[in-house]
Amino acid sequence: MTTQPFTAKKQQCKVTGLILSWVVYLAVIGLLAQERHWAGALAWLILVPCVRWVLFGYFPRISRFLGYGRVDDVLPAPLSPARVAVTFYSFFSCPFCPIVWQRLEALQKEMDFTLQKIDVTLKPQLLISKGISAVPVVEVGDNRLVGNATSEQLAALIGLARLPEPSSLQPVRVA
């Protein structure tokens, strides 16, 4: 019997794993079609996306049973405006991406930042060129969070990049 505490998997999706899952999905369809097993190909074509859709819908409730731990969240109480640009990178079949996106949208209403979503499903080289191998990614200036992040973590990241309010800027005399 071990006395080590249970460690959950990282709450992120490796881009290579996501790409590989779609390659396998398409390869199985191709194999079934080549073997002229049309019923199997049709079932695979329909059932796999349905299972993924159900997984996405119930993921927050079942994530701990899949080894990822809980993905619960609470909006942090004191939030001040942060007029910054936030970039969110997502991949179509990552179950953490919609969770983080919803948190960002809720924070945007409170913190008044601009939010851009970039889907890297068909352009993973964009992340790879930045040295990022997993999604979701939230980028604010030179800072980024990779993986599932709580609203508190996201608010802290966004708050780091906050620009001073125009009223607090001191005029500078140029000689």
Domain range list for the chain: 13-66, 85-160
Give the pLDDT band (50/70/90) at residue 175.
very low
> Given pLDDT bands bounded at 50, 70 and 90, which one contains residue 163?
low
pLDDT digits (tens, 9 = 90+) for 91-109: 988 999 999 999 999 999 9
Instruction: Report the Cα 103 to chain-centroid distance in Å.
Output: 10
Distance between CA atoms of 1 and 147, rounded to whole angstroms? 31
Alpha helices in the chain, H assignment, sequence order: 15-34, 38-62, 97-111, 125-129, 151-160
What does the pLDDT look like over 21-30, one tens digit per residue? 999 999 999 9
Kindly report the CATH class assigned to 85-160: alpha beta
The C-alpha atoms of residue 62 and residue 70 are separated, in whole angstroms, by 8
pLDDT band of residue 45 (cuts 50, 70, 90) is very high
pTM (two decimals): 0.80
CA pair distance 86, 156, nearest whole angstrom? 12
Residue 52 has pLDDT above 50, yes or no: yes
In the chain, the amino acid numbered 62 is I
Partners of 88 in beta bridges: 117, 138
Q: What is the pLDDT, as a whole number, of residue 139?
A: 95
- Locate 8 and state its tokens: 């959950």
CA distance 104 to 98: 10
Task: Give pLDDT tens digits for 79-92.
Answer: 888 889 999 999 98
